[in-house]
Amino acid sequence: MRRAMGLSISAVMMGVVLTVSGCSGLWGGAGDAGGHAASQGSAGDGRKAQSQEKESARPSDGAASAHSGAGGGDRADAANTSGNSTGQAGQTAGTGSGRTAGSNNGVSGDDLAIRAFPKIIRMAMDNLPSGARNGAWAPTVFPVGVGGETTLYYHDVVTEGPVSGRPGLMTAYEVQLSTPQGRVAVFGGARYDSAEEAERGLWNDMGDARRVPGEASRVSLGSGLTGRAAVDPDRRIGRIGWSEGRWQILVTRENTTSPPTDTAKKVVQLLNRYFLPVPHNAGEILVHERGSSVDVTVAWLEQNQLFDVQTTALCEQPITTSVRMAAGTKPYPE
């Protein structure tokens, strides 16, 4: 489901930051290009949350330093964090810098707005060049690794179009968030030269949630919703698709002889609890299950811009996390 952003890139930027664990490390291993600086952050409580009582991502008020991890619960935001990143191919990337939360006295509205984002998100976004950051959105919650791992690293990729297969692309940014075990989530955005090209990018690059191939039957999903369910007996793939407003949702499960009704009902319950952005044109949610492994994509259009959040099997509660991150995604102050 990943779009092929690495096929043609004009600048690649890599950064590393510790967000809440108090440990330090570097992105990648020996031979990884570019200079990296490990963060110096305050330790969080490291607890795995047991509940999610908020109906949307809770931003910081600007004075406090607590942020909500998408797996649940509040954790301390790292303070006094900074990182320098050098781009590949001899190009120098910008310097990422975190801002320390403090008193509201004398603090501008822009600074307060930026503090609504966790430090790991701020560092990644501040490291983007101004052209990619213009009109960009970012989540106000961060993912948690399997088992409650909260040591996070970021890796920025910037693409300037047009590129092969994406003729209308102008610029795109992608932020990859990883634990020491591997990538847990990705968020990003792409600007196209028209709303029509952006919509083509949604269905072509992300995967088309509107299609449920095969002989479909109707299945109740709760909350008055009915899905289209179909099973491919030869490939042993079950699918359920439905729509909610401008959102198209598709749940796919491999190695099964029945549609993934239980997961589809879980997604419906999550969408009743968390309020996703209202797409200007269209949006889609793709959930793909392979045994105990789950990959999730949430993508939506804002006129000629395409935004997305993705989670992997290394993320704690990948379906819930992707929905919470998307629900907490907001315009990032320039």
User: Is the pLDDT assigned to residue 295 strictly greater than 80?
Assistant: yes
Predicted TM-score (pTM) of the model is 0.74
Q: What whole-number distance in Å separates Cα of residue 228 and Cα of residue 241?
A: 5
Inter-residue contact 60 to 99 (CB < 8 Å): no
Cα within 13 Å of Cα(239), Cβ side: 20
Task: Give CB contacts under 8 A, 24+ apart, made by 259-262.
Answer: 259/219, 259/229, 259/230, 259/231, 260/289, 261/219, 261/221, 261/227, 261/229
Q: What whole-number distance in Å separates Cα of residue 25 and Cα of residue 7?
A: 28
* Least confident stretch, 99-103, 198-202, 264-268, 320-324: 99-103
Q: Facing residues of 243 across strands?
A: 248
Please identify which residue in the block is written with the tokens 């490390």.
25
The pLDDT of residue 334: 80
pLDDT in tens, 26-51: 222 222 222 222 222 222 222 222 22
The pLDDT of residue 36: 25
What are the distances in angstroms from CA 285 to CA 36, 72, 79, 124?
Answer: 34, 21, 34, 24
Structure tokens at 92: 């120098």
Q: What whole-number distance in Å separates Cα of residue 295 and Cα of residue 310?
A: 7
What are the sequence ranges of the domains in the chain?
A: 1-193+315-334, 195-303
- Give the DSSP H/E element, type plus range, for residue 197: helix 195-205
pLDDT in tens, 56-80: 333 332 223 356 677 644 343 432 2
Q: What whole-number distance in Å separates Cα of residue 133 and Cα of residue 207?
A: 25
- Other C-beta atoms closer than 10 Å to the C-beta of 34 total 19
Residue 101: partners with Cβ closer than 8 Å, 6 or more residues away: 60, 62, 63, 64, 65, 77, 79, 115
Q: Which of 41, 58, 60, 42 is nearest to 115 (CA)?
A: 60
The pLDDT of residue 187: 98
Structure tokens at 260: 């993934």
pLDDT in tens, 85-132: 323 322 222 223 333 333 345 555 667 778 889 999 999 999 999 899
